[in-house]
Structure 1
Amino acid sequence: MKEAKLISSIQNPLVKKILLLKEKSRERKKTGLFVVEGKREIELAQKGSFTLKTILFCPEILKDFALNPLIQNSKIEVIEISRPVYEKIAHRETTEGILAIVKSKEHGLEKILFKNDYPLVLVAEAPEKPGNIGALLRTADAAAVDAVFIANPKSDIYSPNIIRSSVGCVFTNQIGMGATEDIIDFLKEKEIKIYCAALTASKNYVECNFKGGIAIVVGTEASGLTDTWLQSSDQNLIIPMQGEIDSMNVSVSAAILIFEAKRQRGY
């Protein structure tokens, strides 16, 4: 293993910087950096072609053999930290004694590339709850959708809560972010049909054809989709409810629709 620097004081400037990156979205946007905890999440970030700037590890917790595969790139700064420092900057106790400072990516629509002629994408309009965003990203990863779009984003996808709730799937999905109108224009330009999850003027989802280029669009549980989406919809979808309520958690609904699309496509 390459020789590592040592930080043993919680007053160290880098410790303070890490805390700011974890706690302040403004700091993450200003620096273009964010913090990732845990070996699995860091490995997923590397697989997703994210640039790791610094790795910090606590040798009392992490064994060298677990660290070595992560630091093959000689440009990655490696810093050994004491247990008090780790306990200060770690969000969770179960992250195996390792954290990384990672460079964020741009998520403009121009960055989105499709590898096939009939992409399946998920669009979430204005999601706010980290748990829901994380679950949507996990579903998208499990189904290997071609892209996830977040319209009118309200949350920073590099916040520790979203990274944690997505179990690192924020790194495994192709993510595009933008205004609703811009995403609609992008989808129409790519000849991707817009299927909106909605309660009105809707068709049972199992009766819909998901075999072409399709964008499955979901809104918030509180207010659903805005009129802008509904007016641009090629087809509204509904999942029939047999109980007393008329809707489910947005990530559950998205999963049902996405995997029906995958079933029709023969996966």
Structure 2
Amino acid sequence: MYESKQISSLQNPLIKKIGVLQDKSRERKKSGLFVLEGLRELQLAVKGNYTLDTIVYQGDLISKDVLFDSLDASLPRPNIIAISKEIYAKLAYRKTTEGLLAVAHSKPHALNELVLPSKNPLVLIAEAPEKPGNIGALLRTADAAGLDAVIIANPKSDLYNPNIIRSSVGCVFTNNIAIGSTSEIISYIKDKNIHCYCAALTASKNYTEVDFTTPSAIVVGTEATGLSQEWLATSEQNIIIPMMGEIDSMNVSVSAAILIFEAKRQRGFSS
């Protein structure tokens, strides 16, 4: 049975530590810890085999029984600490969440340790994504489509930014994610004989005319600058989504979703 302690002071060192981990990427990287918020996010982190260090909860918003039922008894037991309404209001990003935050250990996401579960993989590669909301949306799409991996090239934001966790609704914990430089990732997909299809405006073919039924990587860049020349030189075929209006591009997460689900359609929505 889990037991819980109580904290009622905003000056408590643990409460200050949680605040720093939420705000400072440098501290997250240095400590190897991050903060997640919400019951669904906690459940997905447990499902993703993340090691929990500490959970703080507000008893008026969530019962100990519900909280304890969300944990895996086979995993190392986290510290469980009750906090006051004042502390929760100070720490919570979302005032409508279920009354809990957790400190968890991050994973390395090394490219050389990435294992693709399928012999015919479908992978999303995002080069230099900047906005946490876009990264979170990409991860939600990848989870919905059951992609074999999401690979982030030259990231501009650390993966455990609270805004990424929040916008991904915990899908950062459910995806098979790796991080590397563009050159490292190109070497990786070539070694795995994965075909590279880059979303680009030039020398492009309609995305519905491309065969995604073989091992494929769909590569997307930022809305502002697109993909680097290194990716365009690697691309087996640039792909484009026809536009019917006045603009020539869409939000990167929307574009990626269209491309990914076309690939899944061609594969009969199988893995």
Is TM (by shorter chain) over 0.5?
Answer: yes
2:94 corresponds to 1:124: no
One of 112, 115, 136 as aligned partner of 1:113? 115
* CA spacing shift, 1:122–1:72, aligned 2, 3 Å: closer
Give the alignment's Cα RMSD to 1 decimal.
Answer: 1.0
- Work out whether 1:207 is the aligned partner of 2:209: yes
Aligned to 2:13: 13
Aligned 8 A contact 2:46 2:71 in 1: no
Deviations 1:185-226 (A, max 9, x none): 000000001000000000111010000100000000001000
> In the alignment, which residue of structure 2 is the partner of 1:54?
54
2:163 pairs, out of 149, 161, 164, with: 161
**What is the aligned partner in structure 1 of residue 255 from structure 2?**
253
The reply on whether 1:103 has 2:105 as its aligned counterpart is yes
SS in 2 for 1:150: strand
For residue 65 of structure 1, report the CA deviation from its aligned partner: 2.8
- Paired letter, 2:115: L
- Matching of residues 140-151 of structure 1 within 5 Å: 140-151=142-153
Aligned residue number for residue 70 of structure 1: 70
Query: Which residue does 1:3 correspond to in 2?
Result: 3
Following superposition, the deviation at residue 66 of structure 1 comes to 1.5
Kindly report which structure 2 residues correspond to 1:178-193, keeping only aligned pairs within 5 A, or say none.
178-193=180-195
Secondary structure of the equivalent of 2:70?
A: helix
Q: Which amino acid aligns with 2:28?
A: R
CA contact (8 A) 2:140 2:171 kept: yes
Structure 1 residues 239 and 72: CA distance shift in structure 2, 3 A: closer
Q: Which amino acid aligns with 1:11?
A: Q
Q: Which moved more, 1:86-95 or 1:152-161?
A: 86-95
Shift in Å, 1:91:
1.1
Question: Could you tell me whether the CA contact under 8 Å between 2:149 and 2:175 is conserved in 1?
Answer: yes
Q: Aligned partners of 1:44, 1:71: CA distance in 2, in Å?
A: 10
Aligned mate of 1:217, from 198, 219, 244: 219
Instruction: Name the CA distance, whole Å, in 1 between partners of 2:64 and 2:26.
Output: 34
Cα gap change, 1:100/1:210 in structure 2, threshold over 3 Å: closer, same or farther? same
In 1, the alpha carbon distance for the partners of 2:149 and 2:43 equals 20
Aligned counterparts of 2:70 and 2:55: Cα–Cα separation in 1: 9
Q: Secondary structure at the match of 1:224?
A: coil
Which runs of no fewer than 5 residues in structure 2 stay unpaired? none
Letter of the 2:195 partner, please give it: K
Shift of residue 75 of structure 1?
2.0
Secondary structure, in 3 states, of the residue corresponding to 2:135? helix
Aligned with 1:257: secondary structure? helix
Structure 1 residue 70, shift from structure 2 partner? 2.7
Partners of 1:169 and 1:236 lie apart in 2 by 28
Change (3 A) 1:142 1:177: same
TM-score where L is the length of structure 1:
0.98
Alignment partner of 1:221: what SS?
coil
Matched residue, 1:82: 84
The percentage of counterpart residues that share the same residue type is 63
* CA-CA distance at 1:64 after TM superposition: 2.6
- Distance in 1 (alpha carbons) for counterparts of 2:241 and 2:223: 14
Runs of 4+ in structure 1 deviating by more than 3 angstroms, as ranges, are 71-74
Query: Residues 57-99 of structure 1: CA distance to partner in whole angstroms, max 9, x if unpaired?
Result: 1111112331121344362111111111111111111121111
Number of residue pairs aligned between Structure 1 and Structure 2: 267
1:92 aligns with 2:119: no
Q: Which amino acid aligns with 1:188?
A: K
CA distance in 2, matches of 1:84, 1:121: 44
